[in-house]
Amino acid sequence: MLRAPSHEVVVVQKKSRSGKQIGRWLPGALVSVLLIAAILYFVDIPTMLTSIRNADFRLLAVSMALSFVWLMVRAKVWMTLLRDRAPYRDVLFTAGEGYLLNNFLPFRLGEFGRAFLLSRKSGMQFGEILPTIVIERAMDLAISAAIFLAALPFVVGAEGSERIGYIVGALVLIGLVMMYVLARNNRWALDLFHKLSARWPAVQKFGGSFLESFFAGLAVLTDGWLFARFLFWMLLNWAIALLAYYLMMLAYFPQANFVWGMFGLGAAAFGGAIPSAPGAVGTFEGAVAGALTVLSGDQSTSLAVALTARLYNYLNSGVIGGIGLAREGQTLSGIYQQLMNFRNKSE
């Protein structure tokens, strides 16, 4: 029986991987391109530039300064989940590097990269670090949903807005209780998943690996003092982001109130989660500008706020992450190659 030379097999494998990678990023890239085209079509660029020139730069300066405070507190959130097993300086620079990677690399590699980079700086293993990022992101999703839904009734002017806010808070609390129950009974839940997914090996392999990491991260919920510390730093982190977004909006819209900040921040979080080009280009601006257009009716100034929020996201990660990479003698392209090699080996 004839066999293909080994180098041909390698070429076929590389082409297969390239095809898979294109299939992963192409839909998101198309979404970003369509949204950018829509923004450019509906927005009056000269009016937007005028809005930027007329903004209150004192408020914007405070907002940008808060971006660094936000990242410093976010590092404390992550360090708490890591149970203080890594030095704060390493955690801070690695967090900045992760967000920097997310801004410029595809496939949300920054999350994967954070675990990879910190494992090389600390005595912790990659498999120990990744679950902490999973639980951090799960809590981010819950809080962003709560903020957005709590602001929504006030935005649309519905009656009984306070009651809906209470309901949202109750739903978040119920979600935390459910995660606590899963954390206490994770073995039973894993066994049930493997039993139900036995007919689909691919689903079982991927889902089982994800659930094991997720349940490992949920272990924080079973340690009362650790969870209290984690929740304190996480809520403080979101409060800082909320204040920064409110100040950004106030710099452009003097009539803005705190609900605007809640609605805009919630929209930004969901815009960043939609499949898109690296850094949520297009989807982030579309979500923030769309939310503010609903509130103000001014598309051009709303886009100016969205671009300012983009700068807010780039500033802290660019400075802190850039310093971290420089300290380690790394580049974005070098990290990307290392991450892809590591992921291919894992697969």
For residue 159, the model assigns a pLDDT of 52
Across the range 273-292, mean pLDDT stands at: 76
DSSP 329: T
In a domain? residue 15: no
Q: How many domains does the structure of the chain reveal? A: 1
What percentage of the chain's residues is helix, strand, coil (to nearest 5)? 85, 0, 15
Please say if the pLDDT value at position 109 is more than 60. Answer: yes
Centre a 10 Å sphere on the Cβ of residue 277 and count the other Cβ atoms it contains: 18
The answer for residues whose C-beta is within 8 angstroms of residue 8's C-beta and 6 or more apart is none
In a domain? residue 189: yes
The answer for residues whose C-beta is within 8 angstroms of residue 339's C-beta and 6 or more apart is 101, 105, 109, 112, 113, 116
Nearest of 338, 270, 336 to residue 100 by alpha carbon: 336
| Distances 336 to 118, 222, 333, 343 between C-alpha atoms, Å | 15, 36, 5, 10
pLDDT top residue among 24 and 237:
237
The half-sphere exposure of 205 on its side-chain side, counting CA atoms within 13 A, is 5
DSSP 318: I
- Quick: pLDDT tens for 10-51: 444 445 555 555 555 555 566 667 767 777 777 788 998 999
Residue 115 phi/psi, 5-degree rounding, is -65, -40
Structural domain for 56, as ranges: 39-346
At position 291, the amino acid (one-letter code) is A
Confidence band, pLDDT 50/70/90 cuts, at residue 245: very high
Centre a 10 Å sphere on the Cβ of residue 122 and count the other Cβ atoms it contains: 17
In a domain? residue 20: no
pLDDT top residue among 121 and 331:
121
In a domain? residue 217: yes
Q: Mind spelling out the 3-state secondary structure of the chain?
A: CCCCCHHHHHHHHHHHHHHHHHHHHHHHHHHHHHHHHHHHHHCCHHHHHHHHHCCCHHHHHHHHHHHHHHHHHHHHHHHHHCCCCCCHHHHHHHHHHHHHHHHHCCCCHHHHHHHHHHHHHCCCCHHHHHHHHHHHHHHHHHHHHHHHHHHHHHHHCCCCHHHHHHHHHHHHHHHHHHHHHHHHCHHHHHHHHHHHCCCCHHHHHHHHHHHHHHHHHHHHHHCHHHHHHHHHHHHHHHHHHHHHHHHHHHHHCCCCCHHHHHHHHHHHHHHHHCCCCHHHCCHHHHHHHHHHHHHHCCHHHHHHHHHHHHHHHHHHHHHHHHHHHHHHCCCHHHHHHHHHHHHHHHC
In a domain? residue 102: yes
Across the range 294-315, mean pLDDT stands at: 91
Three-class DSSP category at 52: helix
For the chain, what is the mean pLDDT? 80
Please say if the pLDDT value at position 172 is more than 80. Answer: no
Contact assessment for residue 335 and residue 101, using Cβ atoms and an 8 Å cutoff: yes
Compute the C-alpha angle 102/63/86, nearest 5°: 50
In a domain? residue 24: no
CA 57 distance to own-chain centroid: 27
DSSP 105: S
Please say if the pLDDT value at position 6 is more than 80. Answer: no
**Interatomic CA distance for residues 203 and 193, integer angstroms:** 10
For residue 12, the model assigns a pLDDT of 45
For residue 59, the model assigns a pLDDT of 96
In a domain? residue 3: no
In a domain? residue 25: no
